[in-house]
Each structure stands twice: as C-alpha cells, then as structure tokens.
Chain A
Amino acid sequence: ETVMTQSPATLSVSPGGRVTLSCRASQSVGNKLAWYQQNPGQAPRLLIYDASTRATGIPARFSGSGSGTEFTLTITSLQSGDFAVYVCQQYDIWPPTFGQGTKVDIK
C-alpha cells in the first residue's frame, strides 16, 4: 500500500503566522491528494482535494500544492481554530491511505 509520510510531526506557530506542512507519498499519486483538519474529539474536516482545490466553505488562507510524491499545505494568518492536526490522504491507488498527521500548536 501507498505510505504517506507527513512532516514535521508537530509545528509551533504564533497566531497570525504562516505554516507549511509537508506530505510525501511512497509512490506517485498524481494529484489525487486530500488534506483534512481534525480537532480533538472531532471528525476530520475536508480542506483540500485534488491537491489544490479548496473544499466548499474553506477560506483562501488554506492552499495546497504539489503532485506526484511531494505535496504541501500552506496556512496563512493562523487563527485560533486552525490549531489542530492536519492529515493528508492519497486516493489514487487502492486502498486510500492517510498520513499520520501534523499537529499545529500555539507557540
């Protein structure tokens, strides 16, 4: 199965700041990559699909890029609700697989 590796495991950022999260696939997944935000005790929330398309209602502060095996999620002007775990998922190769997540916490 396709292994998704996210880095770093944890990132500390100040409110208003900017972060760039990385996700690497063990083999090419084209642009079939989604990003989710997950807060403690809550279900994942879709942010980005097809590597760079924002889901409905997601603000432009969230942007995704990449293709093949290397992907990034950039969040600007971090707000209180953005401090969460971010998970990438590939859906090009069955079975769909998820990264272990990057936790963004308050510096």
Chain B
Amino acid sequence: EVQLVESGGGLVQPGGSLRLSCTASGLSLGVSWMTWVRQVPGKGLEWVANMNQDGSEKFHVDSVEGRFTISRDNRKNSLYLQMNGLRSQDTAIYYCATEGTNDYGVHWGQGALVIVSS
C-alpha cells in the first residue's frame, strides 16, 4: 500500500521558519515528480511547489517564491519544504503528493497543519 506521511507542521510566529517532511512507503519517490499543495481549512487548494525526479528542476508559485524551497532526498525516500519568512496567509494544511504524467496529484499524504500566528 502506498503511503505518504507529512510531518513538521505546527505553530510558528510570523517571520519564523518550519521544515516539512514527507516520507513515503510502498513506493519509490525517486521515480516521480513530487509536489506540495496547501489548503486553508474550509477553503480551496493551492499548488505550492514541485520538483522533478533528481531535483534538477524545481518550481515555486509566486506567493512563496524566495521564501519556500522544495527539496528531496531519494535515498531517504523523502520530500521536504523549507518555509522561511512565514506569514499569516501561509496558515494551511500542507499536502505532499506524487505526480502522474503531468502536474496533477496521484498519491497524497494526510496533510500537515501549519499555523502562523503570534
């Protein structure tokens, strides 16, 4: 069974940093593009960033560009999202997902809640 598990969420003050992790079991992340998608509770989904199989290509949406960085360690079968300069607007559930043949999510984790508040 394919399972993705996010960790590292929590409460952080504005301007602070967090690092989310996503660890996979039942599949090798190294064969897939990977993505982070976030969702404000009760609201819509927002694509955050994605990365190719070997990490040589990475893309971040404008709202997080320069503050968030996606990375991966295929040896550890893990994906990461380093979040710096956090803002209240970044409060959301962050999901990691494997991508299919294009930029859509196939397997999803259960999500990690990030709350940015003083």
* Residue ranges of A at the interface with B (Cβ–Cβ < 8 Å): 32, 34, 36, 42-46, 49-50, 55, 87, 89, 91, 94-101
In the complex the two chains form, what is the Cα distance from A11 to B97 in whole Å? 28
A98: which of B44, B106, B109, B110 is its contact (CB, 8 Å)?
B44
B59 to chain A, nearest CB (A): 7
Residues of B within 8 A of A101 (CB): 44
Contact flag A94-B59 (CB < 8 Å), given A43-B95, A87-B45: yes
Residues of A within 8 A of B97 (CB): 43
A12 to chain B, nearest CB (A): 20
- Extra A-B contacts (12), CB below 8 Å, given A46-B104, A98-B44, A98-B45: A36-B105, A43-B97, A43-B109, A46-B106, A49-B102, A55-B100, A55-B106, A87-B44, A91-B102, A96-B47, A97-B47, A99-B44
Residues of A within 8 A of B102 (CB): 32, 49-50, 91
In the complex the two chains form, what is the Cα distance from A44 to B111 in whole Å? 10
**Chain B residues bordering chain A, tally (CB within 8 A):** 21
Contact status B44-A49, CB under 8 Å: no
A94 to chain B, nearest CB (A): 7
A-B contact count (CB 8 A): 53
B11 is an interface residue with CB less than 8 A from chain A: no
Contact flag A89-B45 (CB < 8 Å), given A44-B105, A44-B108, A46-B105: yes
Contact status A95-B104, CB under 8 Å: no
A93 to chain B, nearest CB (A): 10
In the complex the two chains form, what is the Cα distance from A97 to B46 in whole Å? 7
Residues of B within 8 A of A94 (CB): 59, 103
Residues of A within 8 A of B44 (CB): 87, 98-101
> Which chain B residues numbered 61 to 81 have a C-beta less than 8 Å away from chain A?
61-62
